[in-house]
Amino acid sequence: MNPLSRLLVSATIVAMCTLPAHAASFKQAKKHYAAADYTAAITELQPLAKAGNADASNLLGEMYLQGVGVNTDIALAKTYFEAGARVGHLAALANLGDILNREYKVELVTLEPLAQAGNAQAQNRLGRMYEFGQGHSINPQAAYTWYKKAADQGHMDGRMNLARAHNFGLGTEQDFVQAEAGYLANAKAGHIDSMFFLGTMHFAKVSQAGLDSDRQAYAWLKVAAQNGHATAAAMVTRLTIKLGDNLSQGDALYQDYASSYTSAATN
């Protein structure tokens, strides 16, 4: 048996032994919980949660959220729910959503007056909250309105989000020309996320670049990637192969954009 096969067999055996043990231990924790022996329940649950058992993480989160056998600790409850949510545990996702929605509603108390008073950062944030349903019902039209207010004041994230709205038809008619123009203006001001979105338009062949779209995509996405944008880096890898013999032209354009636009200040 080769080393890789031995490793796979060993991993399978460990998994087969560990999963039943985890299941049995969680079952015991549930018994302690049902009997109101919360100290014993926590003793069982904590190592399970540390080992990645999502059921244990969720139950611990509920105990800290409700103050069952422990002092109420919303922050710790949130941490446990986040651990469960990361592996797709439905109850943990729902519990985390409830906590976040409460936080968003508290945020809105101070955010909405600031936005109404003309604070561009608050306007952009409020737009995102309407776009993603944070503390409000999802409202694309309201999101667009607030993004535009922020963008009209020169807020760069607001300008990017307004361009995204045109790009994807969020609360307005889809308009690739306006989207590209918005991204480009922001990209030239050094806004990395706008460089990424501009690159994706070229990548998807919905920009005005025509036959030069792959080279433009490569250059903008590489600037974004070199500034820490992980998704852009993955796309650059694909474009490197796609450009083939024309890669040197893409790199020349990248060098031009990198030297011209990454020193600009952003907000």
| Residue-range domain boundaries for the chain | 35-110, 193-267
Using the predicted structure, report yes or no on whether residue 1 has a pLDDT greater than 80. Answer: no
Using the predicted structure, report yes or no on whether residue 3 has a pLDDT greater than 50. Answer: no
Average pLDDT over residues 193-208: 98
How would residue 5 be classed by pLDDT, with cut points 50, 70 and 90? very low
How would residue 20 be classed by pLDDT, with cut points 50, 70 and 90? low
Using the predicted structure, report yes or no on whether residue 256 has a pLDDT greater than 60. Answer: yes
pLDDT at 263: 60
| Calpha distance 79→84 (Å, rounded) | 9
| Calpha distance 139→117 (Å, rounded) | 21
Which residues, 6+ apart, have CB-to-CB distance to 111 below 8 Å? Answer: 122, 125, 126, 129
Using the predicted structure, report yes or no on whether residue 34 has a pLDDT greater than 50. Answer: yes
Using the predicted structure, report yes or no on whether residue 146 has a pLDDT greater than 50. Answer: yes
| Calpha distance 65→72 (Å, rounded) | 6
How would residue 214 be classed by pLDDT, with cut points 50, 70 and 90? very high
| Calpha distance 24→17 (Å, rounded) | 11
pLDDT at 57: 96
pLDDT at 24: 60
Which residues, 6+ apart, have CB-to-CB distance to 32 below 8 Å? Answer: 38, 40, 41, 44
Query: Average pLDDT of the chain?
Result: 91
For the ranges 19-28, 185-194, 202-211, 243-252, the lowest mean pLDDT is seen at 19-28
CB 189 within 8 A of CB 203: no
For the ranges 4-8, 38-42, 182-186, 199-203, the lowest mean pLDDT is seen at 4-8
Which residues, 6+ apart, have CB-to-CB distance to 180 below 8 Å? Answer: 163, 198, 201, 207, 208
How would residue 262 be classed by pLDDT, with cut points 50, 70 and 90? confident
